[in-house]
Amino acid sequence: MDKVPIGRISYINVSPVYHGIDRGESPTWLTMKTLPPATLNAMLKSGEVVMSPVSSAAYARNASEWLLLPDLSISCNGKVLSVLFVSELPMESLAGERVVVTEESATSVDLLRILLAKKGATPTLEPGRVHTPEDLPPGVRGALVIGDAALLSDWRGAFPYVYDLGEEWTQMTGLPFVFAVWAIRKDFCTQSPDVVRRLISCLHDSRAQGLADRQGIVADAHVKTGLSCETLNDYFNHLVVTLGSKEIAGMQAFFDALVAIGILPEAMTPAFALSLEEASPALCTEPPQPRAMAV
């Protein structure tokens, strides 16, 4: 029987959700592909993986083909620490200036566009990679820095203006911000509903182990990044890996804002593969039934 290919973002922010799987609780019928968010977005669209954490903006653009898994996200309610806009000028003074934005996360770029529009700023956004302060090209006045790179350098010591985009969003809306969601292909849900239920169960069980083992999460992230345990504890304290009613409201507000500035063509509402109640009875250790779709 073919294994079910699923994705995993290559940042430490998903560590709480995959902690149990990392500790050997992964069923033999799963195979994991660990890659940057933008790569996984493309692989889910092409069917190279059937489920993956993806940027919430990517979900919004592909909602006709994808559904969400219940109660799973990478969110924050205020500071997120790992999504920063660093600048030599205040945001509202960047009209006509060049700004570098990462190609690794569509959500972070779209959130920056919303915040810039709110402040009446119209810089020129250029794709690029800024992982350290020294990476900023000549003539560029600001950069979007995400993921582990945002935690690894002293950005506040290098730039006079550093904006935490999670904090900026919450100050603007009063809501949490959802950076990533777990999405699954609609065609896979139709053809293999029992596998979907078991997959949700696996991820929820794995996350429960992660939430119960903060010390283990921090220790693993310390080995991977070299960041201090104090910094990592602070980071994981700000991270939300559930998707409750407040996070869903924040995600809806984000989608509405994307429509307002012309990034999304029409209003849309998040749709789920299963409700939490429908998914909960599944046992992730059971082998999946044969499915009609080869992946």
Residue 288 pLDDT more than 60? no
What is the structure's pLDDT at 253?
Answer: 98
Helix (H) or strand (E) holding 84: strand 83-87
Rounded to an integer, the average pLDDT of 78-92 is 95
Measured at the CA of 263, the angle between CA 39 and CA 136, to 5 degrees, comes to 60
Q: What is the DSSP letter of 15?
A: H
Q: At 66, phi and psi to the nearest 5?
A: -120, 155
Looking at the DSSP bridge assignments, the partners of residue 55 are 180
Tell me the pLDDT of the chain averaged across its residues.
90
Closest CA relative to residue 65, chosen from 182, 184, 181, 180? 184
Average pLDDT over residues 231-259: 96
Distance CA 258, CA 276 (A): 27
Tokens describing residue 176:
């949490």
pLDDT surpassing 90 at residue 59: yes
Q: Which helix or strand (DSSP H or E) is residue 46 part of?
A: helix 37-46
The least confident of 195-199, 224-228, 288-292 is 288-292
Q: Which domains does the chain have, with CATH numbers?
A: 4-75+177-279 (3.40.190.10), 83-173 (3.40.190.10)
pLDDT, average across residues 97-123: 91
Task: For the chain, state the CA radius of gyration.
Answer: 19
- The predicted pLDDT at position 38 comes to 80
Query: What gap in Å lies between CA 20 and CA 22, rounded to an integer?
Result: 5
Tokens of 269: 């509402």
pLDDT the model gives residue 279 = 66
Res. 265: pLDDT tops 70: yes
pLDDT given for residue 238 in this prediction: 93
Instruction: Note the residue count of the chain.
Output: 295
Check if the beta carbon of residue 31 is closer than 8 Å to that of residue 2. no
- Per DSSP, 31 falls in state E
Cα–Cα distance measured from residue 36 to residue 73, given in angstroms and rounded to the nearest whole number: 16
68, 171 in Cβ contact below 8 A? no
Task: Report the distance separating Cα 139 and Cα 114, nearest Å.
Answer: 24
pLDDT tens per residue across span 161-212: 999 999 999 999 999 999 999 999 999 999 999 999 999 999 999 999 999 9
Which of 244, 219, 239, 241 minimizes the C-alpha distance to 229? 219
Packing angle, helices 193-211 and 214-225, rounded to 10: 90
61-76 pLDDT per residue, tens: 999 999 999 999 999 9
Q: pLDDT-derived band of residue 25, with 50, 70 and 90 as boundaries?
A: confident
The separation between CA 175 and the C-alpha centre of its own chain, rounded to angstroms, equals 17
Q: CA neighbours within 13 Å on the CB side: how many for 8?
A: 20
For position 294, what pLDDT does the model report? 31
What SS3 class is residue 144?
Answer: strand
Sheet strand arrangement including 83-87: 124-127, 98-101, 140-146, 83-87, 161-164
pLDDT confidence of residue 274: 83
- Give the pLDDT mean for 265-272: 94
* Residue 197 confidence (pLDDT): 93
- 291 falls in which pLDDT band (50, 70, 90)? very low
Contact 125, 102 (CB under 8 A): no
